Amino acid sequence: MIDYNTTRNKLVISEYGRNTQKMIEYIVTIEDREQRTNACNVIINVMAQMNAHVKETVDFEQKLWDHLHIISGFSLDVDSPYPVPSKQEIEARPERIPYQENNIKYKHYGKNTENIIEKAIELEDGPEKEAFIQTIANHLKKSYLNWNRDSVNDELIIQHLEVLSGGKLKLPENFRLISTGDVVPRPVSKKKKFVGRRPAKESYSNGGGFKPKHRTNPT
């Protein structure tokens, strides 16, 4: 009868293979404690050879013994040189990290931009605040063009600034946003240049090949 993997016990740590797992399952059945311990020392050496990269880690011997107990289902009663790992600790799942619930109005500007706008609102009125607002407006246009490479209407950027600031940040009427061309450079056209002159083609009357030039014999 063919023994399929689907009918076998699940590999606990696949790096060591099924034969290693079978040997560990056999060690569990050994009645004498001293013999079980000696067999474990032998299997530890085998595991170190099969999973050689473990030697590059810190305390690799303890890691091998931990793997041995995990593969045995924590059922080995032997004289281990290291503390037996806790099944609850090994099988414990990490705590779920909740997603941040940031209600970003315009995702292409990001949360940091909204935080900057909030700081600008807190500033006292004056030249420093006006310069800060103008910098923020130009930053909004740059961010928008990085998200959408097409041209954007300046009125739209001014509208977004008003929405994000709750109408608390205003631009001067004569202020002009940064040019789209300064943000999105135009592609430079590459034209092939021919060096030297091409030889003139003279065809035969029948259309084949170049017509050889007649040579005059020197007199």
Per-domain residue ranges of the chain: 12-90, 110-183
Q: Which residues pair with 210 in a beta bridge?
A: 203
Confidence of residue 211 (pLDDT cuts 50, 70, 90): low
Q: What's the confidence (pLDDT) of residue 148?
A: 82
At residue 133, φ and ψ (nearest 5 deg) are -65, -40
Q: Residue 1 above 50 pLDDT?
A: yes
Provide the token pair at 94.
């990490």
Global pTM reads 0.45
Q: What is the pLDDT of residues 56-86, one digit of tens each?
A: 777 889 999 999 999 999 999 999 999 998 8
Q: What is the pLDDT of residues 99-127, one digit of tens each?
A: 766 678 888 888 899 999 999 999 999 99
Q: What's the confidence (pLDDT) of residue 126?
A: 92
